[in-house]
Amino acid sequence: MPESSPIPTLLAFIVCDTVIQDAATQKRTLVGVFDQVAAPNAPLHINSLGLYAKLVEGSGLYQMKVRLVNLKDESPVMEIKAAAQWNKPEDPLELGMNFAGIPLSEFGTYEFQLYANDVFVGRALIRATKLQLPPLGPVKGN
């Protein structure tokens, strides 16, 4: 891990359902941007979650790390690492990641934290809330 790599600046860190990358153009499409997930009961699982990050002002090799923590006590939910090679300093670096079945043990606020070479560069929040169904009323019909 090179110490000389400059600290990148995070321009965007977005949570969505899926990040799709077009094979021909390398463009990324974010499907279903959200910051809240609702479920009737806890624990709950997020079946499909995508993370998109756009960084600038970096160059060289980076060990990128994404952590998800429960903000109640900052207990870790998951952590992944990936190496990223930043070839052109003048170009931004885009990261797209997709996850399936992220377990959330309770309702509350969770935070995705992004690190580059173990240096904290930014975060994104999601809230897990209890799904309140409307009370059943009298059935109207014929």
Give the whole-angstrom CA distance, residue 16 versus residue 30: 6
How far apart are CB 8 and another protein at their closest, in Å? Answer: 8
Cβ atoms of residues 79 and 115 within 8 Å: no
How far apart are CB 13 and another protein at their closest, in Å? Answer: 11
Regarding 113 and contact with another protein (CB under 8 A), the answer is yes
Q: Which of residues 65-84 bind another protein (CB under 8 A)?
A: 69, 71, 73-76
Q: How many CB atoms lie within 10 A of CB 92?
A: 16
Regarding 116 and contact with another protein (CB under 8 A), the answer is yes
Type of residue numbered 96: G
Q: What is the DSSP letter of 135?
A: P
Where do contacts with another protein occur on this chain (CB under 8 A)?
6-10, 57, 69, 71, 73-76, 111, 113, 116, 118-123
